[in-house]
Amino acid sequence: MTETNPAAARYLQRLDQELSAIPASERAEILREIADHIADSLAAGRRLDEVLTALGPADRMARGYAVELALNRPNTRLGAIDKALTVIGLVAVASLPSFIVSVILLSVGGGLAAAGLGVTGGGIVALVRPDLVPDLTVAPWVCLVSGPALVAAGAGILYVLFLYIRFLVRLTQRTVRRIGDGRTAR
Amino acid sequence: MSSSHASGEWTSQLRRGVLELCILRLLSRGPSYGYELVSTLDAYPMLASGENTVYPLLRRLKQEGALETFARESPSGPVRQYYRCTRDGERRLKELEKDWNAMVSDVTSFSKEGRR
């Protein structure tokens, strides 16, 4: 009965197009429900134009579904291959600058820490066996103070590197999870 | 419409929130189908929400498992898709009613205190 009415059929066809983001089986149920609604309204003695006006424009109806079903949408999840490609892409884009930053932090931090150890060691040797380092131009206590300070600075930089890597790992985990939920898609 | 734009917006948001409670309440009394639900709600001016709110909400409640559908002949003859409340839906209804009653009683006593 509804199907034979061109205005009703047009409305349903437009709704079908507007709902294209919803999977076919769900969409078919929705369309049948709205078709039933039109048929029931007509059977109750209402005029078709009145019924269609009450339903509102097809795109507004479709937006209603989009809003409600967005909270609970298994269909827009990415496929496994898409997910893997997205993760590889993200890692590739993020890894070069991260690699450079990590290498700089590692070499500066490591260098400072090693130099600090050397200076401290030199200071100790100068105190215990001054004859081994006859050409030391500064007092041993300068080495004993500046050495540990250098070690501390190096350790600080290495700690920053640790924080940075931890941040990257967490960011990656969160991104992967979000991709899994399909929320970053479209 | 006599209400201003701002209060109209407020009313429609309020209605949208309460609608879930009303639909679960209606269906906990017995199965029903779309047209019947819309018509029942239409009899209450504050609840009359329009088809493009009610039907999408029904789908969501079904997806969330609060409602389920089954085919049955309607009084007007043809087979209709009927909705009924699931056990999850009944539980949800109880929670929503508890919240609603607490909200009404809080707002009521709050307003009374203000008058003193």
Reading the block at residue A47, the tokens are 């005029």
Residue A77 per-residue DSSP state: P
> CA torsion sign, B57 to B61 to B64 to B68?
negative
SS3 track for B60-71: HHHHCCCEEEEE
Give the nearest partner residue to B53 out of A26, A32, A64, using CB atoms.
A64
Average pLDDT over residues B31-40: 93
pLDDT band at residue B2, thresholds of 50, 70 and 90? very low
Residue B6 above 70 pLDDT? no
What amino acid is encoded at A78 in this protein?
L
Chain B residue numbers touching A69 (CB-CB < 8 A): 56, 59-60, 63
Element of type H or E holding B33? strand B32-33
As averages over each run of 10 residues, the pLDDT of chain A (186 residues) reads: 75 94 90 92 91 93 89 56 77 78 90 90 84 76 86 92 88 76 47
Chain A to chain B Cβ contacts (< 8 Å): 70
Chain A residue numbers touching B50 (CB-CB < 8 A): 54, 56
> CA torsion sign, A148 to A154 to A160 to A161?
negative
Residue B111 above 60 pLDDT? yes
Least confident of B3-17, B21-35, B37-51, B85-99: B3-17
Find how far residue A12's CA is from the centre of its chain. Answer: 38
CB A75 within 8 A of CB A22: yes
Whether B100 and chain A come into contact, CB under 8 Å, resolves to no
Q: Give the integer Cα–Cα distance in Å for A144 and A139.
A: 9
Least confident of A75-84, B28-37, B66-75: A75-84
CB B54 within 8 A of CB B41: yes
ipTM: 0.83
Q: Give the integer Cα–Cα distance in Å for A124 and A136.
A: 12
Taking only residues 24 to 63 of chain A, the set having a beta carbon closer than 8 angstroms to any beta carbon of chain B reads 26, 29-30, 32-34, 36-37, 39-41, 43-44, 54-56, 60-61, 63
Residue bearing the bigger pLDDT, A1 or B78:
B78
Closest Cα in chain A, distance from residue B115 (Å): 39
Query: What Cα–Cα distance (Å) separates residue A65 from each residue in A1, A14, B83?
Result: 25, 14, 17
Between B34-42 and A24-43, two packed helices, what is the crossing angle to 10 degrees? 60
CA neighbor of B17 nearest in space, from B96, B110, B94: B96
Closest Cα in chain A, distance from residue B35 (Å): 5
Give the pLDDT score at B115. 62
pTM above 0.80, yes or no: no
Residue bearing the bigger pLDDT, B115 or B58:
B58
